[in-house]
Amino acid sequence: MTSRREFVKNTALTTAAIGLVPTLSGLAAGCAPSDRINVGLIGCNGMGFSDLNSFLKNPQVECLALCDIDQNVLSKRTAEVEKLRGTKPAHLYKDWRNLIDNKDIDVVIVGTPDHWHCLQMVAACEAGKDVYCEKPIGRTIEECNLMIKAAQKYKRVVQVGQWQRSDPHWQDAVNFIQSGQLGKIRLVRVFSYQGWCPSIPVRPDEPVPAGVDYDMWLGPATSRPFNRNRFHFTFRWFWDYAGGLMTDWGVHLLDYALYGMGVTAPKSIMAMGGKYGYPDDACETPDSLQTIYEFDGFNVMWDHAIGINDGAYGRNHGLGFVGENGTLVIDRGGWEVIPEVVDGKSRMEAVPLKKGLDQGLDNHVKNHLECIKSRNPNTNASIEIGAHIAKFSALGNIAYRTGKKLIWDGTKFTNDIDANSYLVPNYREPWNLPKV
């Protein structure tokens, strides 16, 4: 972390260089100082900026700072914030540590690639900031454990970007599942078939683009030459930074498999898949994957593919809770119940499609702001919820990468010592795994 003196000096130089004056936007100026919440965003290119947009729909929120390692992204988002609120953010940074050092920031939004989440979230908690962190909360099991410890130790209010937890139709579906009307549930089928998400071709390494601090982008990840396949959106297809579709969509959807069934850790995990659709592309993560999580009396099955849309039940993503009486099917559009028909007789009444409201992200941010005001750590997607499902998704990837059926006791694999090497990350110097 930079010292306070270094921070003040750097902030003065940055503000002078870009000609900014720390003024309030029209919306925030109408709020009492005691109600105002100053937000800083780290990682402005993708979901981080979508999150910030939802924060800025609330008049008590002021965007005080933006941070990104790509000057082009930083300039673009600065202009967009000014268009939204009438004033530019008071501070622009390329080093996230300077943003966290800013004593005037109340909430840090972590919108960086997955391999950065742990370091930035823990540092923000240590600095007394509340945090909105994009999912998956961590890339490995130990990172998730440390992030829970940090939030609890420093008494911070953390919301994880699993915004489906704030979309009402998902909760309505869980209530129906837990009512018992479906009968005994044998299988939860969870799937994500993303036809819009294509493969990426092999590209040569190239010079770092102007305005990009590539060493800071890599951070704790292995040092490699710059390749645009590994940069911005497509970072998610490389093990150094993320976990493919399993941890991208999986944390959203698998979360509701566990929530609906009221379970936590599986007994065992096995996975099969590979680069079946695009064997010669640049991706490291599988384009097709099926993972089976074993529980007492039922299984959870994850199934994903990129480049095609033909998932189950005529949908490209969702869950099917397969019961003796019927199957409840849910996706982001809504939920319905398809009765089981045996010998021409339905075992239960159908439930027609109950459409969702598509307000999950805005509701999620409002829930976070309410919990910040009341100092209630139990947000809709608390650090404990986010960490649990990030671990669950990571287990599926570990089973795939080892090619073995793994027995899990809740903290480690008991039948394969080598598989436990995936539980703790190896950080590149000078970065170290946080100590909490």
Which three-class secondary structure state does DSSP give residue 344?
coil
The structure's pTM equals 0.91
Contacts by 144-148, CB closer than 8 A, 24 or more apart: 144/387, 144/388, 144/390, 144/391, 145/387, 146/118, 146/122, 146/433, 146/434, 146/436, 147/117, 147/118, 147/121, 147/122, 147/383, 147/387, 148/383, 148/384, 148/387
| Residue 198: predicted pLDDT | 78
Q: Are 325 and 215 found together in one domain?
A: yes
Task: Determine, yes or no, domain membership for 201.
Answer: yes
**Domain assignment present for 339:** yes
Does residue 428 belong to any structural domain of this protein?
no
Residue type, 357: L
In a domain, 433, yes or no: no
**Domains held by the chain: number:** 2
Please tell me the number of Cα atoms within 13 Å of 139 on its side-chain side.
25
Kindly state the average pLDDT of the residues 361-381.
97
Domain extent for 337 = 169-357+389-422
pLDDT of residue 33: 66
Residue 427 inside a domain? The answer is no
Q: Tokens for 301?
A: 């099955």
Residue 405 and residue 312 share a domain: yes
DSSP characters for 17-77?
A: HHT------HHHHTS-GGG-EEEEEE--SSHHHHHHHHHTTSTTEEEEEEE-SBHHHHHHH
> Which range, of 20-24, 170-174, 283-287, 421-425, averages the lowest pLDDT?
20-24
Q: What is the mean pLDDT of the chain?
A: 93
Could you give the CA distance from residue 369 to residue 425 in angstroms, rounded to a whole number? Answer: 32
* Gap between the Cα atoms of 372 and 362, Å rounded: 15
Mean pLDDT across 309-313: 93
Do 330 and 291 belong together in one domain?
Answer: yes
Q: Looking at the structure, do residues 285 and 185 belong to the same domain, yes or no?
A: yes
Asked if residue 432 belongs to a domain, the reply is: no
Q: Could you tell me if 33 and 47 lie in one domain?
A: yes
Q: Grade residue 35 by pLDDT with cuts at 50, 70 and 90.
A: confident
| Shared-domain flag, residues 159 and 191 | no
Least confident of 18-27, 140-149, 171-180, 230-239: 18-27
214 and 115 share one domain:
no
Identify the burial level of 436 via C-beta atoms within 10 angstroms of its C-beta, where 0-12 means exposed, 13-18 middle and 19 or more buried: middle
- Residue 2 corresponds to which tokens in the numbers above? 């930079």
> 25-34, 208-217, 346-355 — which is least confidently predicted?
25-34
Tell me the CATH number at 380: 3.40.50.720
User: Residue 197: what pLDDT?
Assistant: 84
Region 153-174: mean pLDDT is 97
Verify that 373 and 325 share a domain, yes or no: no
Report the alpha-carbon angle 251-428-210, nearest 5. 85
Residue 320 near residue 188 (C-beta atoms within 8 A): yes
The per-residue pLDDT for 1 is: 31
Mean pLDDT of 333-343: 97
In a domain, 196, yes or no: yes
Q: What is the pLDDT of residues 52-97, one digit of tens each?
A: 999 999 999 999 999 999 999 999 999 999 999 999 999 999 999 9
DSSP three-state, residue 112: coil
Assess whether 142 and 14 both reside in one domain: yes
- 143 with 173, same domain? no
Strand-strand pairing, 298-306 and 185-194: parallel
Q: pLDDT tens digits for 224-261?
A: 999 999 999 999 999 999 999 999 999 999 999 999 99
If asked whether residues 94 and 17 sit together in one domain, one would say yes
Quick one: pLDDT band at residue 26, thresholds 50, 70, 90? low
- Whether residue 417 is found in the same domain as residue 291: yes
The mean per-residue pLDDT over the stretch 271-299 comes to 97
Q: What is the dihedral of CA 390, 394, 396, 401, to 10 degrees?
A: 170
Residues 191 and 317: beta-carbon distance below 8 Å: yes
Provide the 8-state DSSP code for 377.
-
Q: 396 falls in which pLDDT band (50, 70, 90)?
A: very high
* Cβ-based neighbour number of residue 27 at 10 Å: 18
Residue 436 lies in a domain: no
